[in-house]
Amino acid sequence: MKRRDEEELDARIDLFRRRIKDANDLKVRDDVFDTRTLMNLYYLSKKGYVEALGGSISRGKEANIFHALGRGGKHLALKIYRVATSDFKAMQDYILGDPRFRSVKGNKRSLVNAWTRKEYRNLLRAEDVGVRVPHPYAVRENILVMDLVGTDGVAAPLLKEVELEKEEAERIYRKIADYVVLLHNRAGLVHADLSEFNILYDGEPVLIDMGQAVTLDHPNAMEFLKRDISNLVRFFRERYGIGSEDEIWSRIESDDE
C-alpha cells in the first residue's frame, strides 16, 4: 500500500509539472515549483480543492498568482509564496510584532508558511466584518487557495489600471474608506500596505494582499494605518481631485467610541 501511495504521489507531481504553462520559464519553475510545493499541490488536489492548474496571473514581490480550477470548474486564484526567493527580512517586520505568531521559528520556510496562514486568517477576519476580499478556501504551507476575482477566469484589473467617471470614483473612494474603518474598528486589523496596487476593481473595490495586515496591538499598527490612509487619499486626489485624510480619521475615532 505504501509503495502504491508513493507511486500515486510521484504520478500526481509529474502531472502538475506538465500542467504548469510557465514550465518553459526555468526561473518561474525553479523559484516557485520546488518538490515541496508540488507535494502541497498534490495534497490540495487530493482534498478536492484544486482540480487543474492553469497559467500565471501575476508575479508579486513575494508570491506568484496562478489561475486554477476547483470543484465544478470554479475559477480560483492560487497564491504560491516563493520560499527560496522571498524577502525574509521584510516579512519578519510584520510577523514578529504580531502576537498571533509568537511561536514562529526563525527559519525561512517556517516564516513563509506562517505568513501564508496569516493571510488566510486576515482574509476571513476582514470578510466577517463586511470588507470585500477574495474568499479563502484553504491554506497548505506556502499555498493559499482563494476565489478568483474577475469574470470567466480573467482576473479583474487593479484600481490603478482603470479610469473611473467622477461620480463612480467618489463612490469607490467612499467604499474603500468604509473598508479602512471597518478593518480598524470591527476586525481590529490594519491592512498595512493599502494602495492602488493592492485593490482590484470589478465594479466594486476588492482589497487584496492581506498577508502583511496586522492586529492593532502590533507596535507599528498606527504607523501602518497612517500610511494606508495617506496612500488612499493621495491616489484619489491626484487622479480624481477627491479625498480627505481628516475625514477618514474622524470616522475612525467617532465610530470607535
- Residues marked as catalytic: 193, 209
Residues contacting 67, CB < 8 A, separation 6+? 54, 55, 56, 57, 75, 76, 77, 78, 148, 153, 155
Q: What is the 3-state secondary structure (H, E, C) of 84-106?
A: CCCCHHHHHHHHCCCHHHCCCCC
> CA 51 to CA 67: how far, in whole Å?
11
Closest CA to 119 of 96, 99, 102, 142: 142
CB 163 within 8 A of CB 234: no
